A = this chain, B = another copy of it.
Amino acid sequence: MTLLLLLMVSFIATGNWAQERVWTWQCQEGRCVKQLLQRNETPQGLEACKLVCDIYSTLWPRPTGKVELGRVLVPINYNAITIIGISGEGRALSENVGQLFSTAADNFRNRLTTMFKKQEQRTSGGKSLQVQVTIHDSSTRTLTMESDESYELYISEADYSQVHCNIVSAQFFGANYGLETLSQLTTFDDAADNLVIMRDVNITDSPAFPFRALVLDTARNYFSVASIKRTIDGMAASKLNTFHWHLTDSHSFPFQSSTYPQLSQYGAYTPQQIYTPQDITSVVEYARARGVRVLPEFDAPAHVGEGWQWAGPNVTVCVNAQPWNKYCVEPPCGQLNPTNDTVYEILGGIYHDIFALFDSDMFHMGGDEVNFECWRSSLDIVNWMTSQGMGQTNDDYLQLWDMFQKKAYMKVVEANGGNEIPIVLWTSHLTAEGAIDKYLDNEIYIIQIWTTGRDAAIANLVNKGFRVIFSNYDALYFDCGFGAWVAEGNNWCSPYIGWHKVYMNNPYTLLTNLGVDVSPGTAARELVLGAEAALWTEQVDESSLDGRFWPRAAAMAERLWSNPDEGWQQAEYRMLAHRERLVQRGIQSEALEPQWCYQNEGSCPSQG
């Protein structure tokens, strides 16, 4: 009796008794329902339940083709996983793709590692897992608009000791996505204390849009290479394929040009806040192995300032001019002087250095928010225009801008070994009705839309045959909704954009609402490359980077990969699960709901 009492006391004191499991989850009508664990009942953990319960499991984005899910979990042994990559002919992969594949296989293992809470859990039992990945095109390493990102995935239970998985893809990119999907069909079941995988799976999958992007501005505030790689991890987890790198701006010049190292010497915030050539290469290769292209932007002729101080007079104009709101949209102002030959010389060097480091099938030349008052404030520019017989009207300045764009583009072609290359430009005066036909060639220029999604100018662009990327600020500007820094109240594009709105931002719907026929088979539909969520970083640095992008960027990712007919409601359980997945992988995503909603599917009001 005394002993029993002592035992009970020690039991309570150590908290063991209090930590004994009392809940289990059962799948009922597509929802995991929390229930009291009955005596002698084998508990099912929440994550294991979610994996088999929802119609699309916890896959994010949901696959677009065949989705056959066995809904039975098999324990697998983390230490008995074999991943083999072979070519279409059944031979070893070429060195080219073999290296990428080897990194992708390591990444798969690392993702599984994050599922364990303790090291000991990794040694638990289970079957061996054999993953065979067939990549038909064993030479392509560079993602382009023509890349094939599709894959097929099969999981069977070969025998009592093995689980077999086959992934088949045209190119590396699909194979890599197949491995991501495979890891999403795996979880650590904390009730059974086992790593488990779903068996009897057959998935075919490919994206709805070829261009699925994020843009990060590393000039208003600086972001470490580690934080950029973390962002790319989140992209790969969500099947986004383009990291658009807004390298420089008026505020700072962190890109280290080998030709003109003075640019970052003068323009970086501190000597430590620089992207060296080694840094850039490391990001590009990191992204490549995760199916992500790194698209560099060198914004000009506006959004320029810091870093050019050494280049002599009249290279840049209106730098840090006051009152700033006369000459630009935010301090500090600054634009390149299109009439100064030194500008093109230095640009040529910058472009050369960029093309030497990046491996992108397109280049972003920025071209937004050119302010004619800025140019007008320069006597040097006014005199040159007069000498050329030009006036001082806005049309004259549009011509000046056009001259800049053409000369700068020639330098880009030069840097690209004399080859033409698709150029992305932000919407601007230059892309407006009336100007765009005159100045821009739709064979070369792709237009990135940052007006609202209801702007009639969007229809005009598509009608004129321009390829477009949607970054309509009313749904895809992730910096909106915080306190203002150049005014009172909240920032210009407030309010904050929640994930529901991001998810529902369908480029086809926007165009249809503007009267453009984008039904399947139309030429207009082909012009819609995809969309890109933007993070302008006046009020964001590394501290809040993850939370601004995630999980909202994942909401856009499913829109662009799956483009579902249904609303966000059908995606909510999976979104909560994907958010937990991102956190598990070290990405500090925003929480969307109380954990209670995650544990009580269907009980929170916006669900189901």
* Chain A residues in the interface with B (C-beta under 8 A): 12, 15, 17-23, 36, 117, 190, 220-222, 251-252, 256, 258, 261-262, 264-266, 269-272, 274, 276, 306, 309, 320, 324-325, 331-332, 481-490, 494-501, 537-541, 543-544, 546-547, 583, 588-597, 599-600, 603-606
Contact = CB atoms under 8 A, between A and B. Distances in A.
Contacts of A539: 590-593
Contact of A595 (B222, B274, B588, B594): B222
Nearest to A596: B251
Contact of A496 (B309, B482, B486, B592): B482
Contact of A490 (B488, B496, B605): B496
Contacts of A485: 592-594, 597, 604, 606
B309 A36 contact: yes
A174 to B, nearest CB: 31
A265 B591 contact: no
B543 A331 contact: no
A538 B593 contact: yes
Contacts of A325: 605
A261 B543 contact: no
**Stoichiometry (number of copies):** 2
Contact of A332 (B265, B309, B324, B596): B596
Contact of A589 (B18, B538, B543): B543
Contacts of A490: 481, 495-496, 498
B603 A331 contact: yes
B591 A221 contact: yes
A482 B590 contact: yes
Nearest to A588: B543
Contacts of A266: 22-23
A496 B494 contact: yes
B18 A256 contact: yes
28 contacts: A15-B256, A15-B274, A18-B261, A18-B262, A18-B265, A19-B274, A22-B265, A23-B266, A36-B309, A220-B596, A222-B595, A251-B595, A251-B596, A252-B595, A306-B596, A324-B605, A331-B603, A482-B496, A483-B500, A483-B501, A485-B593, A485-B597, A490-B495, A539-B590, A540-B591, A543-B588, A543-B590, A547-B547
Contacts of A543: 546-547, 583, 588-591
Contacts of A264: 18
Nearest to A18: B261
A476 to B, nearest CB: 14
A607 B20 CA distance: 57
Nearest to A266: B22
B12 A261 contact: yes
Pick from A19, A22, A499, A599 the residue with the most CB of B within 10 Å. Answer: A19
B547 A331 contact: no
A569 to B, nearest CB: 11
A484 to B, nearest CB: 7
A604 B330 CA distance: 8
Contacts of A498: 482-484, 489-490
Contacts of A604: 331, 485-486
A534 to B, nearest CB: 16
Given A538-B594, A539-B590, A496 B481 contact: yes
A590 B545 CA distance: 9
A550 to B, nearest CB: 9
Given A20-B265, A331-B603, A483-B592, 20 more contacts: A12-B258, A15-B256, A15-B274, A18-B265, A19-B274, A22-B265, A221-B594, A221-B595, A269-B595, A481-B481, A483-B496, A483-B499, A484-B498, A484-B606, A485-B604, A486-B604, A490-B495, A539-B592, A540-B591, A543-B590
A269 B597 CA distance: 11
